[in-house]
Amino acid sequence: MPSSTMSNAGTTPAPPQLPAGYDVSKLVTQLAPREYDGKMAQDGLRFVSAASIYHSNITTFSPSFPETILWITLLNKLTEGAAEWAGPHIVTLASGTQPWADFAAFEMAFKAHFCAADDKEAAIAELVKLCKGQHKIGTVQDYTVKFNAIAARTSFSAEDKHERYRTGLPYKIKDILATSGHDTSSITKIQAVALTMDQNLLVCEEEQPKQFSGGWRKKGEKAAATGKKPFTGNCFNCGKPGHRSFECKLPKKEQQAASSSGETTDLAALRAELKEIKERLSAVSVNETKEGF
């Protein structure tokens, strides 16, 4: 509509928000990164990417969430050899001191300890494969975590990462982004908006009634549920009982073949009947001749 276009052109869209009354504790559970044992550098990149999303979303949607608990929650996801590195930091946090000025400082310290340099060409090939296939399956959260982990191993510019990330988003998210008016000019902004939109779609799906919770109905149950009696006649197309011609699922070619087959059978039966009548008349004529009529 014209009025909407003028409004979007003259104002800055509001930042993305979760639905009113949404329980942030669900977000805390859903975005919590998986455990990392400190063995593989690539797994470490995935962990720190997921931790970045976790930290950003919790501090955005729930500013009152205790940051000390947030850091301890993240560090408790480090196991085995990685737990040895996390242990002293947890003690520091418990004493009321923040080991890092911000998440960027944590990320730098984490990567310096766990993440060795990977082959850039292999990372590029992996990223291309991810962007081509991710829009078909998976959640935006999973896609974002994998994308950031792989992109960190490449030399792509921020603009290249932004465009590659956008092309790999699910179609439904890209359609909304095209008309939403949100600022998605940078990789950070487009990821924040896409994650929020995906979360909102999940919430809407949870609230929708489960229309097909009863599973598939057997033949005749659908008619019984709607109060209509099942059709007991034969289809004009295929000759089979239980459905009408406009409901026939047989392909048109097979319908014609079935119809032709039915017509051929009827014609053959009629010819046989005529032949039998002629034979009877002939027999009667012979008898009349013998008897002298």
Answer whether residue 89 shows pLDDT above 90: yes
Distance of alpha carbon 151 from the chain centroid:
23
Confidence of residue 2 (pLDDT cuts 50, 70, 90): very low
Average pLDDT score over residue span 237-241 = 70
Which amino acid does the sequence have at 215?
G
Task: For residue 177, give the nearest of 142, 201, 147 by alpha carbon.
Answer: 201
* Length of the chain, in residues: 293
Q: Which helix (H) or strand (E) holds 202?
A: helix 187-207
Sign of CA dihedral 80, 85, 91, 96: negative
Q: What is the largest CA-CA distance in the chain?
A: 134
Distance CA 132, CA 147 (A): 12
More confident residue, 7 or 49: 49
Rounded-to-integer distance, Cα 190 and Cα 16, Å: 11
The predicted-structure confidence for 141-194, as pLDDT tens digits, reads as follows 889 999 999 888 776 888 999 999 999 998 888 888 888 888 899 999 999 999
Residue 218 tokens, joined: 């057997």
Which candidate, 16, 13, 54, places its Cα nearest to that of 33? 54
Amino acid code (one letter) for 243:
H
Residue carrying structure tokens 């009152």: 64
Which residue type occupies 193? V
* Contact assessment for residue 177 and residue 197, using Cβ atoms and an 8 Å cutoff: yes
- Cβ atoms of 248 and 258 within 8 Å: the answer is no
As a whole number of angstroms, the distance between CA 229 and CA 170 comes to: 43
By the 8 A CB rule, do 34 and 47 touch? Answer: yes
CA pair distance 236, 230, nearest whole angstrom: 16
Residue type, 102: D
Amino acid at residue number 150: I
120 with 155: CB under 8 angstroms? yes
pTM here? 0.40
| Each residue's pLDDT tens digit, 257-268 | 555 555 455 556
The mean predicted confidence, pLDDT, of the chain is 75
